[in-house]
Amino acid sequence: MPHNRDYLPAKDSELVVWSKNFLTLILANAEAWSINQTETRALQTAVTNFQTLQAQADSPAKNSIIVKQKNDAKKILKEKISELVNFRLKNPVITDAQRISLGLHIRDPKPSPIPVPTTIPEMNFELAGVRRLAVPFHDSGSSTKAKPYGVNGAVILYAVLSTPPKSIKDLNQSVLATRTPHIFEFEEEDRGKIVYFAICWQNEKGERGPCSEIVSTIIP
């Protein structure tokens, strides 16, 4: 059965440090946490094997065989850690402070409420082929693609019109874009016409934030 292991570092070098700390605390508290010797030995072997092979794979002498052995050892290590985390470390005697020292995440018993978006996303237009427009977007003032907390995606409102719209209400089509850029495909008859856009964030509850000004471009 697959388990969420997002507490494990992605980089091998960081996983070595993380797993050594994890092992140290497991060995120090094994009896109190009801972890038996078979489990501690299996974890210790997995940590040692991965640490050794990771060092070899990070050396000038590395080759494809060593890299495969390192990846296999990494898989086994993750499995041993996951078994402990999803079984033994659910023991109620283990405190949240101890779980944090192990490098694990603690679930918030009272999740933060999802706020209504307050910022306005920015967008621009890129040619993506005949009758195709790519619309990259990002949060106002941000240089990354990250969406604000609690935001599910950007609602892009649009309409192909012969005269400029008087308000957002005139943009009678919309799409929820969860990834950037969003690709629009238009009909052949719309080539050369003007398409008008506006954009706003929408949170996971379907609540929308403030909308941008209406902008336009020509359909290629």
**How far is 39 from 22, CA to CA, in rounded Å?**
13
Kindly state whether residue 194 falls inside one of the protein's structural domains: yes
Kindly state whether residue 163 falls inside one of the protein's structural domains: yes
Kindly state whether residue 110 falls inside one of the protein's structural domains: no
The number of domains in the chain is: 2
**How far is 183 from 158, CA to CA, in rounded Å?**
13
Q: How confident is the model at residue 194 (pLDDT cuts 50, 70, 90)?
A: very high
Amino acid at 59: S
Lowest mean per-residue pLDDT among 23-37, 106-120, 157-171, 194-208: 106-120
For residue 182, the 8-state DSSP code is E
**How far is 151 from 95, CA to CA, in rounded Å?**
32
Amino acid at 105: H
Same domain, 49 and 129: no
Q: Which of 69, 101, 133 is the last residue of a domain?
A: 101
Kindly state whether residue 200 falls inside one of the protein's structural domains: yes
- Contact in structure between 20 and 26 (CB atoms under 8 Å): no
Q: How confident is the model at residue 5 (pLDDT cuts 50, 70, 90)?
A: low
Residues in CB range of 65: below 8 A, 6 or more apart: none
Q: Domain of 178?
A: 122-218
